Structure 1
Amino acid sequence: MTDPAPEGPSGTTKTSRGNGFGGVPQWAVVAVATIVLLIAGYFVLRMLSTEDVRVDGLPSHPVRSEATSDGSIQIRSETTASTQILLDGRPVPTSEQGGALAVHAPSTSDGTHVLEVVTPRAVSWLGSSSTTQEFTVDSAAPELQVEDSLRPNELGEPVTVHGKATGADEVTVAGKAVKPGPDGAFSAVVDKPEREVQVVATDLAGNRAERTMTVHIKHPGMRAVHMTGLAWTSDTLREPVLEMARQGRIDTVELDIKDESGEIPYGSAVPEANRIGAVKNYYDAREAIDQLHGMGVRVVGRLVAFKDPVLGEASWREGHPERVVQTSGGQPWSSGYGDFAFTNFADPAVQKYNIDIAAEAASLGFDDILYDYVRRPDGGIEKMRFPGLTTTPETGIANFLRESQTAVRSQGALLGASVFGIAVDRPTQIAQDIPQMAKYVDYIAPMVYPSHWGPGEFGVADPNTAPYDIVRRSLDKFAQAVAGTDVQIIPWLQDFSLGASYGPAEVGAQIDAARDGGMPSYLLWAPNCRYHGEALVPQKP
């Protein structure tokens, strides 16, 4: 018989709760068991789960083919040392870089690929797990379409570049970013175009397409006569030229800014020119320019480039023989021009000297800079040395003009190059390749003097007595040489007697020949700076 249950204070009967294990409350037992199960579950999940893997350097957009070989794709995991990398199912070489595995697979082909990262599980007998990531390789550059040339009406005038860049994400025009439309079309205004405008199209993968647009300025034309620096200081020689300008017979005067003797006849401030004694101060350039501009006359500065005995002799005597054209024996080239006469067009110091003078003259207000003697000496090239020349002489001359045009244009002037008549079909004889040179000047000025052609040239038996025929036929060849470009031909014509007497009729015949060939502009050359003005037809401004 059992004892009755004890009564409570109010007379009710007490019931006893379970004590669990060893007197521990049942709820505590349940709580502990739950925690144990959670911990155990965590470790089981850790054993079964994939390692924490991170892939860097593989964006969602397409990448270039070298992205899989240059180490830019890097894998990070907790077990880097035992991680295996597969590309399209094949193992690829890797290297450890800062705790990561850098991928060095061979460049992949265009298209979709799979990168797989295989990592061991925490417990070896559970095997490994893998993480995959698809990506696209695109090595094709955008298709960029622009014109070859830009044609502002005047120097410094803004130009608008129109084009299409199919497949591009971004386009830059002269360094300015432009967003192409859905069809790739774009346009951009270049406020102050230089000699060239670069257009670059880039896609998301980083592929680039580049085009260079040449800025061609249409020369306003000229009817010019040449004057030396000393001739300009002579009232007897200067006044007839000014009178021709007043009568509308000429609209341009060409003045020497460095002549065949290497002298600079105006007060140049170029340090090297002053140091070697080239500056002579025969005339005031600023005063002459102001006077002629005040009459509505353009002013062209003639710069004799590489026939420069002043710079040549100074260079040789100061221990810079590389600045002088040399014989095969290492002596200064002469060949009838005089000692140290020809400086080396391939030498950077010689180039800089001439470009500095050209840029200074342009900054003073000369409308054009017209190079003369922008060539090598005539004669057998096998007997000459041009220290530092790494290309053909023709390309070396063209590259010099390229550098010059940028400097001259930046100062607001146009650039021309005087060339031998024979250069049109014999470019290697003096290193004047007309199509190459035409890329980097605003006009070519061929010296098609009738007296300088040999018998039979261009089918003319005696060119010196047939000024119309020889000028017309030779200029036709020059027109063919620059066909397809915006470069103008402005010929030098003869106003002197050499082997035949030349007067107004002969001068006029040459002018007519040039005009009939579509070249109304010209420059007249007379060594004594005395011109047959009556051969020139007055024109109203």
Structure 2
Amino acid sequence: MNTASRFVLIFLALFRVSALEASIEIVSVVNAVDGRPIAGALVTAEGRVEAADGQGRLTLPAPATWVAARAPGYLRTHVQDASPIARNETIRLTPFRPKALYLSFYGIGDKALRESALKLIATTELNALVIDVKGDRGRIPYRSAVALAADSGAQKVITVRDMPTLIAQLHAGGVYLIARVVAFKDDPLARTHPEWAVRDRNGQIYVDREGLAWIDPFRGEVRDYVLDVAEEAARLGFDEIQFDYLRFPDAPGLVFAELPTQTNRVATISGFLSEARRRLAPYNVFVAADIFGYVLWNRDDTAIGQRLEDLVKYLDYVSPMLYPSNFQFGIPGYRNPVAVPGEIVRLSLRNAVKRTGLPPIRFRPWLQAFRDYAFDRRLFGADMIRAQIEAAEAFGSDGWMLWNPRNAYGEAGLRAKTQQ
């Protein structure tokens, strides 16, 4: 072997050693309770995300002084050090099932409603809040740094003066925080930028049954704005970003920037989620989306762009709205859904798992905590709320969320803290 060949071999050997030493081997991402490895856990280091293997192991590039991890069914966490994280680091994730109440744009800013919700969290099994970051009317409750938020009129009313402080206080109290970001129902933005609005067949700005305008999901400017708001919520410290109204409006004859075929609708909604996952990845935040309950049953996109098998590719959690009152056409074998709230939840979730092959932990349903509006106007009291909760828990979902648009909640159907 000549001198040049020896030099090349020595160089390659040194390169391999340097490359090995310049990596961080995460021995395992494990369950903090029993030490079991968590297969498929997502680990973020220096803005790059990798999935752990079947034994919870992976290797990441160095140097890194901040390594974070998350997995469905657990709280997210991170390891931070002034010097690069050591080889053979073990990250422990704590099992957690969010049990949440929803607080609207006004509810989170109203002291009485907020404190009422926090009292229930202190005394019952509840442990989480879903908070409007961009609500049904397009409003953002705090002073946003996203320029278009102020330009569109989304900041005309501010209900939370200091969101970072409020988030810190809620986290200190052990509250898991979900940022609800309404995507394509945005009246102020549609009025400010009519060129981005959905139109009716007469060329007028389309308004829904609530008299609110929608923005066109096909428009890149629209999608970018929603993602800017979501990214800001992640920076603020929310544990999870949950997109709602992530769909096309359900009305015939509407006009969009592109032809609204099923293929185009599905590609647009799925593409939005793909981009959301990319942009939110550096923040180690969970990504979720609210979908129509019937999406778990329909094989098409329900004419709104939500096709179950396409959505789940990009989400940590799927949150179907399983309100019995929403199932106005019933489900197979059940024509009067409000009479069997538990069965609606159980069968719908079972159908979702059958179709997707996903574990139950990837689903967290919205449950009905408001009076029926579609059948007999019955009040959803303790028994009906409890039936839904027990169906979700028996299924194995990642917790559940109670919806009441008036933010009027009580202890009905909830276990006391001492009963858990």
TM-score by length of 1: 0.59
Alignment-derived partner of residue 218 in structure 1: 72
1:259 to 117, 135, 139: 135
Question: Partner of 2:141: helix, strand, or coil?
Answer: strand
Q: Percent of aligned pairs with the same residue?
A: 30
5 Å matches for 1:97-246? 151-152=40-41, 159=50, 189-191=59-61, 217-220=71-74, 221-246=97-122
> What is the letter of the counterpart of residue 243 of structure 2?
Y
Alignment-derived partner of residue 385 in structure 2: 507
d(CA) in 2 for partners of 1:481, 1:314: 41
Alignment-derived partner of residue 73 in structure 1: none
Q: Which moved more, 1:405-414 or 1:150-159?
A: 150-159
Question: Partner of 2:380: helix, strand, or coil?
Answer: coil
Q: Are 1:442 and 1:487, in contact at CA under 8 Å, matched by a contact in 2?
A: no
Question: Partner of 2:290: helix, strand, or coil?
Answer: strand
Higher relative contact order (CA 8 A, sep 6+): 2
Alignment-derived partner of residue 531 in structure 1: 409
Structure with greater proportional helix content? 2
Alignment-derived partner of residue 384 in structure 1: 254
Alignment-derived partner of residue 267 in structure 2: 395
d(CA) in 2 for partners of 1:450, 1:423: 14
Give the Å deviation of 1:155.
5.8
Q: Are 1:216 and 1:487, in contact at CA under 8 Å, matched by a contact in 2?
A: no
> What is the letter of the counterpart of residue 378 of structure 2?
A
Give the Å deviation of 1:472.
1.2
Residue 441 in 1 paired to residue 318 in 2? no
Q: Are 2:41 and 2:51, in contact at CA under 8 Å, matched by a contact in 1?
A: no
Alignment-derived partner of residue 475 in structure 1: 349
In structure 2, runs of 5+ residues without a counterpart are: 1-37, 63-68, 75-96
d(CA) in 2 for partners of 1:302, 1:444: 13
Residue 268 in 1 paired to residue 157 in 2? no
Question: Partner of 2:193: helix, strand, or coil?
Answer: helix
Alignment-derived partner of residue 237 in structure 2: 365
Alignment-derived partner of residue 399 in structure 2: 521
2:167 to 271, 276, 289: 289
Q: Are 1:423 and 1:430, in contact at CA under 8 Å, matched by a contact in 2?
A: no
Q: Are 2:178 and 2:238, in contact at CA under 8 Å, matched by a contact in 1?
A: yes
Kindly tell me: are residues 295 and 155 of structure 1, through their superposed partners in 2, closer, same or farther at Cα, counting changes over 3 Å? farther
Structure with greater proportional strand content? 1
d(CA) in 1 for partners of 2:222, 2:304: 18
d(CA) in 2 for partners of 1:437, 1:281: 33
Give the Å deviation of 1:487.
6.9
Alignment-derived partner of residue 450 in structure 1: 324
Kindly tell me: are residues 455 and 275 of structure 1, through their superposed partners in 2, closer, same or farther at Cα, counting changes over 3 Å? closer
Q: Are 2:361 and 2:397, in contact at CA under 8 Å, matched by a contact in 1?
A: no
Give the Å deviation of 1:159.
4.9
Question: Partner of 1:379: helix, strand, or coil?
Answer: coil
Deviations 1:353-396 (A, max 9, x none): 0000000010000111111100000123xx12220469520121
d(CA) in 1 for partners of 2:235, 2:39: 24
Q: Are 1:232 and 1:238, in contact at CA under 8 Å, matched by a contact in 2?
A: yes
Question: Partner of 2:289: helix, strand, or coil?
Answer: strand
1:330 to 191, 197, 203: 203
Residue 313 in 1 paired to residue 183 in 2? no
> What is the letter of the counterpart of residue 331 of structure 1?
Q
d(CA) in 2 for partners of 1:270, 1:233: 20
Aligned pair count? 340
Supply the RMSD in Å over aligned alpha carbons. Answer: 2.7
Q: Are 2:366 and 2:402, in contact at CA under 8 Å, matched by a contact in 1?
A: yes
Give the Å deviation of 1:219.
3.9
d(CA) in 2 for partners of 1:286, 1:460: 46
> What is the letter of the counterpart of residue 301 of structure 1?
A
TM-score by length of 2: 0.75
> What is the letter of the counterpart of residue 151 of structure 1?
G
d(CA) in 1 for partners of 2:60, 2:201: 49
> Which of the two has higher C-alpha Rg?
1
d(CA) in 2 for partners of 1:289, 1:458: 43
Give the Å deviation of 1:158.
7.5
Deviations 1:445-465 (A, max 9, x none): 000101111254231131112
d(CA) in 2 for partners of 1:259, 1:158: 30
Q: Are 2:109 and 2:141, in contact at CA under 8 Å, matched by a contact in 1?
A: no
In structure 1, runs of 5+ residues without a counterpart are: 1-148, 164-186, 193-214
